[in-house]
């Protein structure tokens, strides 16, 4: 059965893909209306936490994912799915979870913003670099070469444009963003979760058939991501308040973006899609569980 997963293509219509694009744009806009230009300028005085978070996401996690693939040797499409998820920016729900965990929510939002912009270059570069170092995934990449310009346009329209619009609206009309902030976050999150549920329902038989193949890998990979964020933040001497944000930002990946890239550039390749879909469920469960545990031990806001 494991060999077959490389040939499976999940049912995901072009209309569904466009809908997911729109949903992620709305989710990003709901995050952006929390931001002001001063949030970015502040980094000039204290860049260490954000730079640590970006290094954790785009340098350390992809490298550790590659070592995980080398150690466990999963099927090629599963391996490439793990690499792609590791190359994505932090998930949009990470800001909500960081707030619930008593971590630095402002840092989480800033990391999401910077990681989203960095994704235009770093996501295709990470997938191409690490994927080319492992022969089975290199063969897949040769068949479906990622066009960096197409990724840049996709991410720009879906994530960066809503980010810019949200910041501009928050500056020009803070009264509107104050009214929109809470309901928009809950509505956008609910729509995203509902979409993932419907997409899974359309592929439920295939998902059940192959989920067991990737479940343990996703559990280990997600644990690795959380540990990598926490340990790097601890190693550079950040406070517990900041460590919580970086831990969650690294462990909550934008698997929705991953799915869009998988269906847009890899024709819905089964192992990759099952990995991203399983990540989409599992990281919410681990993130909320971790937030509940962390919230029991308040961190000093420094």
C-alpha to C-alpha distance for 249 and 56, rounded to whole angstroms: 9
Of 299, 258, 296, 263, nearest in space to 280 by CA: 258
Using alpha carbons, select from 82, 87, 107 the residue that is nearest to residue 219: 82
Residues contacting residue 115 through CB under 8 Å, at least 6 positions apart: 53, 54, 57, 58, 89, 90, 249
Closest by Cα among 233, 297, 193, 275 to 57: 233
Q: Which of the 8 DSSP states describes residue 4? A: G
In order along its 302 residues, the chain shows pLDDT tens digits of 445 655 555 555 556 667 777 777 777 787 778 777 776 676 667 789 999 999 999 999 999 999 999 999 998 989 999 999 999 988 767 877 888 888 887 788 888 888 888 888 888 889 989 999 998 898 888 877 667 777 777 777 777 788 888 888 888 888 888 888 778 777 777 777 777 676 666 666 666 777 777 888 999 999 999 999 999 999 999 999 899 999 999 999 888 788 878 877 887 777 888 888 888 778 888 988 898 898 888 766 65
Whose tokens are 């998988």? That residue is 262
The DSSP annotation for 71-112 comes to: HH---HHHHHHHHHHHHS-B-TTHHHHHHHTTS-HHHHHHHH
CATH of the structural domain 3-294, one choice from 1.20.1530.20, 1.10.287.610, 1.10.10.10, 3.40.50.150: 1.20.1530.20
Query: For the chain, what are the domain ranges?
Result: 3-294
The β-bridge partners of 253 are 90
Cβ atoms 242, 104 nearer than 8 A: yes
Whether the model pTM is above 0.85: no
């Amino acid at each position: 059965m494991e060999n077959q997963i490389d040939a499976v293509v999940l049912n995901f219509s072009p209309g569904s893909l466009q809908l997911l694009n729109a949903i992620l744009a709305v989710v990003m806009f709901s995050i952006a209306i929390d931001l002001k230009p001063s949030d970015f300028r502040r980094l000039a005085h204290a860049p260490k936490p954000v730079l640590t978070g970006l290094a954790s996401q785009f340098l350390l996690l992809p490298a550790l994912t590659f070592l995980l693939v080398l150690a466990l040797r999963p099927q090629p499409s599963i391996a490439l799915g793990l690499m792609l998820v590791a190359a994505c920016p932090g998930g949009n729900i990470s800001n909500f979870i960081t707030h619930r965990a008593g971590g630095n929510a402002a840092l989480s939002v800033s990391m999401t913003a910077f990681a989203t912009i960095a994704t235009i270059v770093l996501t295709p570069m990470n997938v191409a670099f690490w994927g080319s170092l492992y022969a089975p995934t290199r063969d897949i990449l040769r068949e479906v070469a990622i066009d960096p310009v197409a990724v840049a346009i996709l991410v720009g329209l879906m994530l960066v444009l809503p980010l810019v619009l949200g910041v501009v609206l928050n500056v020009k009309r803070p009264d509107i963003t104050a009214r929109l902030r809470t309901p928009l976050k809950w509505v956008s999150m609910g729509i995203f979760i509902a979409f993932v549920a419907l997409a899974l329902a359309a592929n439920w038989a295939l998902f059940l058939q192959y989920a067991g193949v990737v479940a343990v890998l996703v559990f280990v990979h997600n644990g690795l991501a959380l540990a990598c964020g926490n340990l790097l933040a601890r190693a550079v001497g950040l406070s517990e308040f900041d460590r919580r944000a970086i831990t969650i930002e690294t462990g909550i990946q934008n698997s929705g973006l991953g799915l869009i890239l998988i269906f847009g550039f890899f024709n819905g390749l089964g192992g990759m899609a099952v990995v991203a879909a399983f990540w989409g469920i599992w990281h919410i469960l681990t993130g909320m569980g971790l937030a509940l545990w962390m919230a029991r031990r308040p961190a000093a806001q420094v």
